[in-house]
Structure 1
Amino acid sequence: MCRICGFTFEKKDEIEKIKRMSDSLRRGGPDDEGLFVDKNLCLCSRRLSIIDLSMKAHQPMLSEDKNYVITYNGEIYNFKEIREELKKQNFEFFSESDTEVILKSYILWGEESFKKFNGMFAFAIFDRKKSLLYLVRDTMGIKPLYYSIRNGRIIFSSEIRGFKSYDDKWEEDERWRIYFLIFGFIPSPFTTLKDVFLLKEGHFLRYDLKTKEIEIRKYYDYNFSCKIKREEEAKDGVKEYLSNAVRRHLISDAPIGVFLSGGIDSTLIAILSSKFKGKIKTLSITFKEREYDETLYQKIVSKSIGSEHHSYEVKKDDFYKNLEDIMDAMDQPTFDGVNTYFISKYAKEIGLKSVLSGLGGDEIFGGYPSFKRIEYLMFSRELLNTLIFEKIDDDRLKRFTYFNIKNPIAYYLMLRSVFTLKEISIILDADIREINNFLKDLYWEKGIKDLGRKNFVSYLEMFYMKNQLLKDSDFMSMWNSVEIRVPFLDKELLDYAFSIDERIRFKKEKYLLKKGFDKLLPAEIIERKKQGFSFPMKEWLKEIEFPINQSVLNRKAVSVFIKKQREGKLHWTKNWSLFIVSLKKF
């Protein structure tokens, strides 16, 4: 696991910028630093050693003939199988790393190699023979990779902070505050910086260093085929594929553990990890606030598997003591991520470098309330006059105004938006028509409207997962020099899950997980009411005070929102979002 960055250049005095970029990414790669400089290309790696801890796995890594160079962030869970394939083709290896496997896969199979990898990854390969630079991102977008084309030159980085180090006067994208106040994050491919984009998952970018031509192509895609229509087959298949996924995700030469919230997803990961690895370390967060605390369930699971369990109580004082560091860790604006910050911080304190998480289980197997609400929403859209909701003071009902938008994003915003368009226009003193136009810039896959209703919700929730949960998990964990692995997003498991008829996959909440693992899961976990991994932010933020940045925010409007939140009439995400917009510089 690493942080990577690089750029092309014309003058030698530009090379010193790579060192500035590297320094800005050091929290995500404290174990080693590597630089590669060619005639007009710089590549950099900051390493967090997980697989092959020796210097043989140093990056950027060059092939023996020096014609190919790679800088890589991530984990390839099937690298040993691919390594054996390569050996049969007479390839020899000088390290035990997955980095070398990626490099030699490219040498043999070229662009076709990318679809072979099952893992989380973002890497750059320089093909000296063809003068080509490739940027490649994993199939679900677990690891980020940002890029920009400036005057024919390419700059890339694992984090947006890398671009600010390249040029501290880099212009911001004027849309970012609007996007953030709508979604609570910046939707892909956009960022807070002008002309800096997130490479789409399952895609690669090919840059020709001679002609400066750029091409972005899809190399892999998932599809909802719904070909598995027998419930027993689906149940057994999910059990087999998830078990194999967890086994793969435990490959590590560094200390590894499991985040245990006490819900079904993290419990399954912990139980299976214990089955394959023996005694494991589990860690949990607890609260004094009973509404949010899951200690009872965490103890049930840790006791049942005999794990070395570590529990940390997070108090309001801890939040405020670490607030400055939380804001520094926030590479891109998000109203979430505080939970991941603390759990990653504690993972580092007990010596873990890699931790398995249950992230993805809700999106893939129907854990959110949205899977039940979609029928109601689709029915409501046909009947309601949305204009009446502008005048209603209920925070949740105002979301119905998003049904005026005539594309699939309307359903997502109805389920998960932060502010309405009218509220944003007042907060930012912006034209509501301009805000509407920004929404039109968002990309939606063709064929989304043709999905069944439950698969449609799954697609929307994966939009949330990719743009919020995965981004937050990456920059909050890597800030603490910890890698988060997500077995529910294993490539083989996803291919299988998406082939199950939606009437089976979403029959009930987490139906296939509960049925497939009914003999492993404690009854208390199966029967408990769903509870998200959330913090008592509602209570903690009532006392937060911040100077309102009047250069970007309407002071009068923001003051009204602050007052309402303190009176308990407003969801905490609104004030937290305004706090971030007002104080954080991206």
Structure 2
Amino acid sequence: MCGLVGIFDTRGTRSFDRGQILRMNDRIAHRGPDDFGTHLEPGLALGHRRLAIIDLSPAGHQPMENDAGDLVIVFNGEIFNFMEVRAELEALGHRFRTHSDTEVILHGWTEWGEKCLDRFRGMFAIVLWDRKQEVLFLARDRLGIKPLYYAQMADGRIAFASELKSLLEIPDLPRDLDPMAVEDYFAYGYIPDPKSILKSVRKLAPGHLMLQRRGASHATSRPYWDVTYKADPRLNSHEAVKEALIPLLQDAIRLRLVSDVPLGAFLSGGVDSGAVVAMMAGMMSDPVNTYAIGFEHRDYDERRYAQEVADRYHTRHTTRVVNPDDFDLVDHLAALYDEPFADSSAMPTYRVCGLAREHVTVALSGDGGDELFAGYRRHRWHSYEQGVRDRLPLWLRRPVFGTLGKLYPKLDWAPKVLRAKTTFESISYTAAEAYFNSVSVLPNRTRPKLFSSAFRSSLQGYNALSVLRGVMDNAPVEHELSRVQYADLKTYLPGDILTKVDRASMAHGLEARVPLLDHKFVEFTATIPPELLLDGRQGKMAFKKSLEPYLSHETLYRDKMGFAVPLESWFRGPLKDKIRQAVQSPVLADSGFFDQRYLTRLVDEHQSGRSNHSASLWAILMFQSSLKHLRVG
């Protein structure tokens, strides 16, 4: 697990300053505290920070060249099946000088070119220079576990890095904010790939590669992997699913136990982390090291559920109580994530990563289970509402339920049964509009009020809905539930969940591995019939039924809690002055993006108790903090 940076000259062989590469590299020192290296040649400069996990010897040093001296690579991540691929390459005549997975990528490129990606199981961002072919190869893993930013400069340079902060060390990098990315952020709470907050910088999308030949004017990325949702008729019962699922899950976890450093797991007490720990316990001779954080407030605390799993599998369990008023992290998060990032669960995630790093260097997580098995409440609601939409034509739904949605008051304070406004609106929408409404931090009815008229004009009609609509309209699925799962897999999972875990873990020099996102396991889950995933108020039924021999009934079937943060009370209590100062700050006012009166109104309504605008206010606070760290206005 590491970090990488570099600059490539697409037009020629100009020289690059080693000092600049070192500065870019130093900005991500937290990603690789064990070693660093640079490589400079005419037209190319590479930098690398290493967190040593496999092959701790100096032979694993990067940037790494092949024996012939015509290839050089910087690589962030792990190829978990590298020994299998290495054996295949050795049978073809390749000889290795190290025991690292990095060298396997070099030989894989020599043998198969870009098709080497088809053989790799893992998480990775790869930048490889082929001097003989004069081609720069960039690739990102299938699900987007590892990040890769790049900027194509007007003078023919391509700069790339694991984190945006490294690219900010390039003095002439344009710093103009991308208005469409701002619109996306206030809709989703993160900036979906391939955009970044800056016009000049993009993210290589998950499952994509890029080839840039020297002398070519421009490079474009293209996908090398996708997942198709098509039910397998053989998986016609929960028992049939279990018989196929458990061996695949065990295989994915077994691959991720390869490590030359101490290893453990996050244990929240939920289904996904519990499943990972249960399988680990059956494979390891020593007790599993598990880590959980808790809160003094019982409504936010899952320690008792984590302890039950820990006791069942006799893990070496460590917990720590975190103050629910842990708002000292607010400003630090903006620096950590570079781009605006509005998932407040980044705070407890950061804390549990810090706890784990006190004992281990690698931790397995259960991320991805909700996307793969339809575990979010919005999946159930979407399926229910889609059933209504399917029975009524859009020409009837749009005026009838749209009018009801407009007329019905927004009753944040009322019992759920009386909060019908959102339901009426959703039934009046298309499937993409409805799902967008359910995932939005600020939905379409309120988001435009946030912005100034000048900013709305700059969008030229662009709406963040187009991101989700583009994914859902082209989803390779047979069922509407699969459509929203696919949408989450392509947007929310890499943009929010995996970004959150990558930055929080790497800030502590901790490698987080995500076995549920092994691509072979993902491809299998896409063949489970959707009717086996939902059962009334229960999601993830196929997964839960498969795990009944391994986890208790309460662990499997209790209501999902998640990493909650008490934002609503924060903005009426200890952070009430901070949020008011944020919305009135010159940073936001000078941007020209916002209707300052509306920002103040949100604070007034929230602090008076008339409405709960906590999610919107958090998004605004994190945007303001990010602008300060990005040094743009």
TMscore range, shorter length: over 0.9
Tell me if structure 2 keeps the 8 A contact 1:302–1:309. Answer: yes
Name the counterpart of 1:127: 130
Tell me if structure 2 keeps the 8 A contact 1:425–1:435. Answer: no
Which of the numbers 145, 170, 187 marks the counterpart of 1:166? 170
**AA matched with 2:288:** I
Query: Structure 1, residues 17-57: CA drift from partner, whole Å, max 9, x if none?
Result: 21221111111111111111121011111111111111100
**AA matched with 2:520:** E
Displacement of 1:377: 2.7
Displacement of 1:380: 5.6
**AA matched with 2:260:** D
Name the counterpart of 2:337: 330
Alpha-carbon spacing, 1:408–1:209, altered in 2? closer, same or farther (3 Å) = farther
Name the counterpart of 2:602: 561
- Give the distance between the partners of 1:215 and 1:445, measured in 2 at CA: 23
Name the counterpart of 1:494: 522
2:35 maps to 1:32 = yes
Q: Which moved more, 1:146-155 or 1:321-330?
A: 321-330
**AA matched with 1:338:** M
Q: Which moved more, 1:374-383 or 1:524-533?
A: 374-383
**AA matched with 2:368:** G
Q: Which moved more, 1:213-222 or 1:261-270?
A: 213-222
2:563 maps to 1:522 = no
Tell me if structure 2 keeps the 8 A contact 1:136–1:204. Answer: yes
Query: Structure 1, residues 327-364: CA drift from partner, whole Å, max 9, x if none?
Result: 2212222211222211112222x232111111101111
Q: Which moved more, 1:163-172 or 1:72-81?
A: 163-172
Query: Structure 1, residues 551-570: CA drift from partner, whole Å, max 9, x if none?
Result: 24333212222233332731
Which of the numbers 256, 265, 270 marks the counterpart of 1:249? 256
**AA matched with 2:497:** L
- Give the distance between the partners of 1:291 and 1:527, measured in 2 at CA: 17
Structure 1 segment 399-410 matched on structure 2, within 5 A: 409-410=432-433
- Give the distance between the partners of 1:175 and 1:456, measured in 2 at CA: 24
TM-score for the superposition, normalised by structure 1? 0.94
2:321 maps to 1:313 = yes
Q: Which moved more, 1:122-131 or 1:501-510?
A: 501-510
Tell me if structure 1 keeps the 8 A contact 2:334–2:625. Answer: no
2:132 maps to 1:115 = no
- Give the distance between the partners of 1:23 and 1:92, measured in 2 at CA: 33
Structure 1 segment 106-255 matched on structure 2, within 5 A: 106-151=109-154, 152-167=156-171, 170-227=175-232, 228-231=234-237, 232-255=239-262
- Give the distance between the partners of 2:88 and 2:117, measured in 1 at CA: 15
Identity %: 29
Displacement of 1:512: 2.1
**AA matched with 1:54:** S
Tell me if structure 2 keeps the 8 A contact 1:553–1:582. Answer: no
Tell me if structure 2 keeps the 8 A contact 1:331–1:475. Answer: no
Tell me if structure 2 keeps the 8 A contact 1:255–1:352. Answer: yes
- Aligned-residue RMSD, C-alpha: 2.4
Displacement of 1:388: 5.1
Query: Structure 1, residues 281-316: CA drift from partner, whole Å, max 9, x if none?
Result: 111010111111112111111111111111111114
- Give the distance between the partners of 2:494 and 2:534, measured in 1 at CA: 20
**AA matched with 1:557:** Y
**AA matched with 1:540:** W
Displacement of 1:578: 1.3
Alpha-carbon spacing, 1:476–1:402, altered in 2? closer, same or farther (3 Å) = farther
TM-score for the superposition, normalised by structure 2? 0.87
- Give the distance between the partners of 1:304 and 1:444, measured in 2 at CA: 41
- Give the distance between the partners of 1:487 and 1:568, measured in 2 at CA: 44
Structure 1 segment 501-520 matched on structure 2, within 5 A: 501-506=529-534, 509-520=539-550
Displacement of 1:417: 0.6
- Give the distance between the partners of 1:489 and 1:322, measured in 2 at CA: 29
**AA matched with 1:492:** K
Which of the numbers 276, 281, 286 marks the counterpart of 1:269? 276
**AA matched with 2:450:** I
- Give the distance between the partners of 2:50 and 2:420, measured in 1 at CA: 48
Name the counterpart of 1:340: 349
2:113 maps to 1:101 = no
Tell me if structure 1 keeps the 8 A contact 2:533–2:539. Answer: no
- Give the distance between the partners of 2:331 and 2:405, measured in 1 at CA: 38
Name the counterpart of 1:2: 2
- Give the distance between the partners of 1:2 and 1:401, measured in 2 at CA: 48
- Give the distance between the partners of 2:405 and 2:543, measured in 1 at CA: 39
Tell me if structure 2 keeps the 8 A contact 1:455–1:502. Answer: yes
- Give the distance between the partners of 1:13 and 1:153, measured in 2 at CA: 10
Displacement of 1:249: 1.3
Displacement of 1:503: 2.1
Tell me if structure 1 keeps the 8 A contact 2:331–2:625. Answer: no
- Give the distance between the partners of 1:403 and 1:503, measured in 2 at CA: 22
**AA matched with 2:258:** I
**AA matched with 1:480:** H
| SS at structure 2 position matched to 1:42 | strand
- Give the distance between the partners of 1:195 and 1:367, measured in 2 at CA: 36
2:410 maps to 1:393 = yes
Displacement of 1:204: 0.6
Structure 1, unpaired ranges of 5+: none
Tell me if structure 2 keeps the 8 A contact 1:386–1:400. Answer: no
2:364 maps to 1:359 = no
Query: Structure 1, residues 419-446: CA drift from partner, whole Å, max 9, x if none?
Result: 1334332222146574752436634266
Q: Which moved more, 1:48-57 or 1:430-439?
A: 430-439
Tell me if structure 2 keeps the 8 A contact 1:153–1:212. Answer: no
- Give the distance between the partners of 1:478 and 1:343, measured in 2 at CA: 12
**AA matched with 1:452:** H
- Give the distance between the partners of 2:557 and 2:498, measured in 1 at CA: 28
Displacement of 1:88: 0.9
- Give the distance between the partners of 1:282 and 1:436, measured in 2 at CA: 49
Query: Structure 1, residues 265-284: CA drift from partner, whole Å, max 9, x if none?
Result: 11111111121123011110
Tell me if structure 2 keeps the 8 A contact 1:289–1:536. Answer: no
Query: Structure 1, residues 356-411: CA drift from partner, whole Å, max 9, x if none?
Result: 11110111112111222113333565424435545633467665797699875423
Tell me if structure 2 keeps the 8 A contact 1:74–1:119. Answer: yes
- Give the distance between the partners of 1:275 and 1:432, measured in 2 at CA: 56
**AA matched with 2:236:** R
Name the counterpart of 2:415: none
Count residues with an aligned counterpart: 584
| SS at structure 2 position matched to 1:376 | helix
- Give the distance between the partners of 2:427 and 2:560, measured in 1 at CA: 32
**AA matched with 1:345:** G
Tell me if structure 2 keeps the 8 A contact 1:408–1:449. Answer: no
